[in-house]
């Protein structure tokens, strides 16, 4: 036995993080003397499942590994009336103290205490905010472009600041916190991003409560720098209970934007249903008091139009090589120089070039590749006078659109199963799956039209699974074992993929696969054409944990072990069809490389004089290798 405890204590340096709570206290007689050997029965009110412990010689008791919820405590001892305390709420990772004062009498007599137990934390020094089931169910959350997120409720807790990727807890740095669901982290990488972690979390309706610890939390929460959020999934009860809901937003109820001519499309529905209760198979099995289920589904459908989306595009005459009205904010014409005339300065150092007469580039000088792309972009005409600020007055933000739309359907589904095997063993299993898509709506994309649309589409798929086993070995020895994990696949890609661009002559020289995507073109003064191709990350996590609680005298010992594997693998073919970057430097005065004094990136594009570009095949890691008119680059590993 001594060797066993030496092993357990050696493992105690790596604690297991858990959402389970504790009820602790002391039992005394009317004179205040400790009552040893008293039987303490703790019953989960919703499921009628029980756990039994006994008081020590010092009259103390402790019941660890309790799932969050409401409990009833009964204390009995020979020669004393039975003590009953109802409505004892255990929060996630919380500890509640309930002391019992027994009165002399028969055990068949009962003294029932109906007052609510104080929830002030007195058993340890950690700072905890508990958001209980009622708040989770009843607090309204804004449906603003995505499913409701449990992380939106974190803002009501003290010592939380920011949101999404900027969320911080307890005065710590942003993203330096951790979040667990049923004892296993729902994190997606080494730093915490509430926007991404929300995809791993189940529907808000499937969460019973959560706590936010910002100080004094135990070493078992080893990945929490500034704080830790502990979520607990909802379980079924002895009563069959279900909910159906729908949250609606529609542009018919909105005001028109300040710059927009009409109200943009804005349709949102956040809908779902839950059902929980005992597992019943007619004439086969009745799971009341033993086996419970909780099923949840939530869906999100939307159609969001471009809300005053501005882009900077070339003017119609520029597609003919005419830059006579190419001016800066002061109205001065920016001279276009011919890069083919670049030569050494005969009167000094550096290089010089000859300007195009009349700032007009002859059509015969257009590169073959630039002529291939012009038909896709030239139909887009400026429709706004241009907005001043940081660029050219004539072209900066000269295209405004409130048409087109983005669809972002999302679905979440989860199932929780709880089963009691007698009074000593309890099993629990949880599974959650989430699917998110970002797609172009039926009327096209907001902003520039396809295929020169400069954003892209997305696909996020996540899964989370948990299995736990609680074993009451004896009234003083309790064991909790859990295993679980998450997968998070985040993929971004272009809507222009696999459209046989090579047969249309749309192909960068030396590109890896012309058909995979429309080539991407970037300018120093204009909006980008085309979106990046397939890329993303796969971020699996799995964990195994073991907790053992031993009660001896007035002390409770907790030892445990945890192992967590967390990976992030990048995937990328961003520029598999090529990427060319054009700058004003290609057609500027080589004696003056200052922006907005001469040259034009679009003139450089027409002449086919890019800065180094990239082409990117599919590979885990690679290096840069010079190729014609640019750089070949594989994905970073």
Three-state SS letters, 295-326:
EEEEEEEEEEECCCEEECCCCHHHHHCECCCC
Of residues 317 and 45, the one with the higher pLDDT is 317
Give me the percent of the chain exceeding a pLDDT of 90. 24
* Pair 522, 630: CB distance under 8 Å: no
Average pLDDT of every residue of the chain: 79
Confidence class for position 259, pLDDT limits 50, 70, 90: low
* Secondary element (H or E) of residue 277: strand 266-278
pLDDT exceeds cutoff 90 at 363: yes
Whole-number pLDDT of residue 142: 55
| Least confidently predicted of 9-18, 221-230, 595-604 | 9-18
How far does Cα 17 stand from its chain's mean position? 21
Whole-Å CA distances, 606 to 341, 398, 497, 586: 16, 20, 25, 11
Confidence class for position 256, pLDDT limits 50, 70, 90: low
pLDDT exceeds cutoff 80 at 126: no
Top mean pLDDT of 78-82, 122-126, 231-235, 371-375 is at 371-375
Q: How many residues does the chain have?
A: 637
Of residues 423 and 435, the one with the higher pLDDT is 435
Contacts of 7 (CB under 8 A, 6+ apart): none
Instruction: Identify the bridge partners of residue 285 per DSSP, sorted by sequence position.
Output: 281
Of residues 564 and 354, the one with the higher pLDDT is 354
pLDDT exceeds cutoff 90 at 338: yes
Contacts of 2 (CB under 8 A, 6+ apart): none
Residue 383 CA to residue 3 CA, distance in Å, equals 81
Residue 507 CA to residue 521 CA, distance in Å, equals 12
Top mean pLDDT of 295-309, 430-444, 490-504 is at 430-444
CB neighbourhood size of 125 (10 A): 9
Of residues 189 and 505, the one with the higher pLDDT is 505
Whole-number pLDDT of residue 617: 46
Average pLDDT of 361-369?
93
CATH 2.60.40.1120 fits 17-113, yes or no: yes
Give me the percent of the chain exceeding a pLDDT of 70. 78
| Least confidently predicted of 10-24, 41-55, 266-280 | 10-24
Q: Where in the chain is the domain with CATH 2.170.130.10?
A: 127-233
Please write down the HEC assignment for all residues of 415-445: EEEEEEECCCEEEEEEEEEEEEEEEECCCCC
Phi, then psi, of 553 in degrees rounded to 5: 60, -130
* Pair 265, 254: CB distance under 8 Å: no
Residue 519 CA to residue 427 CA, distance in Å, equals 54
Tens of pLDDT along 574-595? Answer: 888 888 899 999 999 999 888 8
Whole-number pLDDT of residue 216: 59
Average pLDDT of 196-211?
82
pLDDT exceeds cutoff 50 at 543: yes
Query: What are the E-state strand segments in 82-185?
Result: 82-90, 95-97, 100-101, 110-113, 127-131, 160-161, 168-169, 177-181, 184-185
| Least confidently predicted of 144-148, 181-185, 425-429 | 144-148
CATH 2.40.30.40 fits 127-233, yes or no: no
Tens of pLDDT along 54-101? Answer: 888 888 888 887 888 889 899 988 888 889 888 888 877 778 888 988
Confidence class for position 416, pLDDT limits 50, 70, 90: very high
Residue 593 CA to residue 595 CA, distance in Å, equals 6
Tens of pLDDT along 299-330? Answer: 998 876 655 678 899 999 999 999 998 988 77
pLDDT exceeds cutoff 70 at 257: no
Whole-number pLDDT of residue 462: 93
The residue behind tokens 């340890």 is 124
Whole-number pLDDT of residue 123: 53
Residue 93 CA to residue 231 CA, distance in Å, equals 9
Confidence class for position 106, pLDDT limits 50, 70, 90: confident
| CA end-to-end span of the chain | 49
Residue 55 CA to residue 73 CA, distance in Å, equals 13
Instruction: Identify the bridge partners of residue 364 per DSSP, sorted by sequence position.
Output: none
Whole-number pLDDT of residue 322: 95
Residue 321 CA to residue 370 CA, distance in Å, equals 12
Average pLDDT of 114-120?
55
pLDDT exceeds cutoff 50 at 623: no
Confidence class for position 607, pLDDT limits 50, 70, 90: very high
Of residues 220 and 363, the one with the higher pLDDT is 363
Confidence class for position 272, pLDDT limits 50, 70, 90: very high
Whole-number pLDDT of residue 503: 79
Instruction: Identify the bridge partners of residue 436 per DSSP, sorted by sequence position.
Output: 410, 460
Please write down the HEC assignment for all residues of 318-363: HHHCECCCCECCCCCECECEEEEEEEECCCCCCEEEEECHHHECCH
* Secondary element (H or E) of residue 468: strand 457-474
Average pLDDT of 484-496?
87
- Compute the Cα dihedral for 304, 452, 580, 636 and give only its sign: positive
pLDDT exceeds cutoff 90 at 278: yes
């Amino acid at each position: 036995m001594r060797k066993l405890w030496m092993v357990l204590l050696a493992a105690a340096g790596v604690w297991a993080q858990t959402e389970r709570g504790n009820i602790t206290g002391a039992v005394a007689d009317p004179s205040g003397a400790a009552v040893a050997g008293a039987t303490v029965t703790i019953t989960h009110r919703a499921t009628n499942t029980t756990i039994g412990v006994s008081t020590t010689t010092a009259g103390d008791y402790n019941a660890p590994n309790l799932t969050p919820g409401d409990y009833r405590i009964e204390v009995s001892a020979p020669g004393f009336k039975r003590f009953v305390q109802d409505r004892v709420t255990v929060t996630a990772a919380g500890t509640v103290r309930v002391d019992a004062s027994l009165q002399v009498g028969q055990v068949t007599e009962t003294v029932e205490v109906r007052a609510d137990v104080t929830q002030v934390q007195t058993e340890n020094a950690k700072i905890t905010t508990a958001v209980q089931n009622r708040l989770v169910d009843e607090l309204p959350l804004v449906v603003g472009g995505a499913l409701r997120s449990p992380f939106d409720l974190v803002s009501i807790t003290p010592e939380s600041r920011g949101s999404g990727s900027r969320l911080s807890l307890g005065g710590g740095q942003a993203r330096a916190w951790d979040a667990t669901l049923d004892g296993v982290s729902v994190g997606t990488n080494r730093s915490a991003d509430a926007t991404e972690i929300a995809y791993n979390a189940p529907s808000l309706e499937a969460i019973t409560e959560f706590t936010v610890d910002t100080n004094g939390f135990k070493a078992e929460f080893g990945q929490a720098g500034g704080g830790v959020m502990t979520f607990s999934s909802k379980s079924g009860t002895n009563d069959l209970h279900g909910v159906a809901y729908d949250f609606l937003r529609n542009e018919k109820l909105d005001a028109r934007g300040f710059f927009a001519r009409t109200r943009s499309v804005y349709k949102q529905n956040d809908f779902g249903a839950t059902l929980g209760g005992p597992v019943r198979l007619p004439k086969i099995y009745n799971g009341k008091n033993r086996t419970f289920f909780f099923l949840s589904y939530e869906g999100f459908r939307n159609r969001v139009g471009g809300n005053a989306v501005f882009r900077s595009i070339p003017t119609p005459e520029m597609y003919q090589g005419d830059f006579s009205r190419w001016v800066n904010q002061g109205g001065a014409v920016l001279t276009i120089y011919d890069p083919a005339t670049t030569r050494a300065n005969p009167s000094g150092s550096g290089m010089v070039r000859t300007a195009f007469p009349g700032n007009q580039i002859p059509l015969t000088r257009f590169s073959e590749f630039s002529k291939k792309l012009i038909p896709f972009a030239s139909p887009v005409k400026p429709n706004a006078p241009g907005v001043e600020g940081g660029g050219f007055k004539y072209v900066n933000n000269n295209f405004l659109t409130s048409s087109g739309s983005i669809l972002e359907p999302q679905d979440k589904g989860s199932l929780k199963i709880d089963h009691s095997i007698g009074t000593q063993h309890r099993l629990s299993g949880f599974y959650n799956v989430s699917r998110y898509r970002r797609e172009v709506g039926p009327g096209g994309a907001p902003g520039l039209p396809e295929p020169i649309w400069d954003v892209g589409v997305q696909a996020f798929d996540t899964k989370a699974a948990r299995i736990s086993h609680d074993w009451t070995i004896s009234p003083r020895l309790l064991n909790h074992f859990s295993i679980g994990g998450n997968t998070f696949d985040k993929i971004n890609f272009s809507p222009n993929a696999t459209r046989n661009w090579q047969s249309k002559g749309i192909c960068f020289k030396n590109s890896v696969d012309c058909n995979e995507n429309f080539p991407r073109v970037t300018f120093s003064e204009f909006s980008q054409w085309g979106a990046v191709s397939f890329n993303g990350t796969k971020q699996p996590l799995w964990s195994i944990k073991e907790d053992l609680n031993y009660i001896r005298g007035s002390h409770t010992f907790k030892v445990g072990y945890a192992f967590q594997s967390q990976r992030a693998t990048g995937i990328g073919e961003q520029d598999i069809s090529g990427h060319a970057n054009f700058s004003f430097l290609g057609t500027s005065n080589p004696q003056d490389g200052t922006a907005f004094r001469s040259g034009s990136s679009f003139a450089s594009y027409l002449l086919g004089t890019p800065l180094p570009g990239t082409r990117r095949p599919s590979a885990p890691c690679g290096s840069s290798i010079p190729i014609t008119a640019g750089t070949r680059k594989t994905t970073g590993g």
